[in-house]
Structure 1
Amino acid sequence: MTKEKKIWYASYGSNLLEERFNCYIKGGKPNGSNNFYKGCTDKTLPTESEEIYIKSELYFANKSKSWNGSGVGFIKTEFDENKTTLGKMYLITKEQFIEVVKQETNNNGELIIDFEKAQKSGSLIFRKKSWYGNLLYLGEQNGNPIFTFTNERNLTDKINAPNKEYLSMIICGLKETYNLSDLEIKEYFEGIEGIKGNPIEKELEKLIRKE
């Protein structure tokens, strides 16, 4: 019997923090969020997790009810070798991946994702007009495909700053995943749309030091 391949779910936002991502697996309410997640049918935690450098640009946009109307993270739909978004990926089953996506996109119905088609084309819009309805293929690691998701278009007309709670969660995730200094984390965020030029930019140093 051939062992079924697992899938790497790659995160670049609040799910960088493993404790927060695990709420999608085993259920729970993340700190600072208004949402309670029911978790997956299979509540087995990821068998592996590791860093990933995504060659696309991070930005913050839309108004999230989960985070009191603040912006949340997205990556641009096109890849750019000159841009790097720091991510973290988790090795989970295909069924868990689909259930994570359903929770992330508030989908209570049936969801079928053609992973092979996404691999061949590089992306797949599995739910139109959903915030995170665009599946992106990021390659393979140890024979298992890597996927993340973002919007079907670049939301440059809906740029919106993240709140302190959401940004703090990402900062905690970066510190958990990468060996970065406080200055390096500050420099990482300073040029990002949704942060640069907004009041939250002046809070960066304090938030990073606090976390």
Structure 2
Amino acid sequence: MTDPETYVWYAAYGTNLSTARLRCYVSGGRPSGAARHYDGCRDTSPPRDHRPVELAGRLSFAGESGVWGGGMAFFAVDGGDVVHARAYLLRLQQLGDLVAQEARRPVGTDLVLAVDGPTRHGLSRTYDVLLDLGELDGHRMLTLTGTSLPAANAPSAAYVRTMLEGLADGFGLDADARVAYLAAAGGVAPHWSVEALRRMLPA
């Protein structure tokens, strides 16, 4: 798939659960709590649609984020858990620009997706692959993750807060469920207790 105008779903399971955070990738800006300003996509049109989805797999935190400090979220298809994600309907060109910004590369290189299966896009060694998650309403759904995880590392307070804010929007999860979900993810304990996570909930 090479047509940059083709629509695809980008399934976000980390800080891009927050629509405000995703907006910075698309139209430019600096997310609350982040140490970086994003230039935005060549096409700054908002997502055509977005909705909560559940992915079969496993959520974990690892490595060190230069934007947030602390660990970064990763998705793996093994594990048999439910991973909450927000699917954004974007043009393929926008997804390519999002991946480039994630990798601290200039926008402008269009993605060429594998016909099926994973796409190794070559822009980043950390989030190095787009996984094909099938179709949603006739469009391919993809998520960005890494094929080789760094050492486990708990996320920063700003990262946690942004994810909790995203999970509060449309997922039907009460405060206890949102806290329990993050507490169960790999790399969170023992740095974050349930009580400490609860203190990060939006007021």
Task: State yes or no: 1:170 paired with 2:167.
Answer: no
TM-score (norm 1): 0.87
Q: What is the match of residue 91 of structure 2?
A: 93
**Would the alpha carbon gap of residues 95 and 128 (structure 1) be closer, same or farther in structure 2, given more than 3 Å must change?**
closer
Q: 55, 76, 82: which one pairs with 1:84?
A: 82
Alignment-mate amino acid for residue 148 of structure 1: T
The answer (yes or no) to whether the contact 1:163–1:200 under 8 Å persists in 2 is no
Residue in structure 2 matching 1:184, options 162, 177, 181 = 177
Secondary structure, aligned partner of 2:24 = helix
Q: Structure 2 matches for 1:18-57, cutoff 5 A?
A: 18-57=19-58
Higher normalized helix content (fraction of residues): 1
CA distance in 2, matches of 1:132, 1:200: 27
Structure 1 residues 70, 142: closer, same or farther in 2, change over 3 A? same
Shift of 1:65: 1.5
* Corresponding position: 1:149 with 2:148: no
The total of aligned residue pairs comes to: 199
Structure 1 runs not aligned, ≥5 long: none
Q: Could you report, residue by residue, the CA deviation over 1:98-140 in whole angstroms, capped at 9, with x for unpaired residues?
A: 111110111227634322x2x52x2122227621111101111
Query: How far apart in 1 are the matches of 2:96 and 2:123?
Result: 16
1:177 CA displacement? 2.7
Q: Secondary structure at the match of 2:167?
A: helix
What is the distance in 2 between the residues matched to 1:180 and 1:109?
A: 35
Could you report, residue by residue, the CA deviation over 1:54-75 in whole angstroms, capped at 9, with x for unpaired residues?
11111111111111x3111111
CA deviation map 1:17-49 (0-9, x unaligned)? 001101111100000001100001111101100
TM-score normalised by structure 2 residue count = 0.91
Decide whether the 8 Å contact of 2:97 with 2:110 is kept in 1. Answer: no
Cα distance change of structure 1 residues 59 and 43 upon mapping to structure 2, 3 Å threshold: same
Task: Determine the C-alpha separation between the residues in 2 that align with 1:65 and 1:23.
Answer: 16
Deviations 1:73-106 (A, max 9, x none): 1112x344x2111000111111111111110111
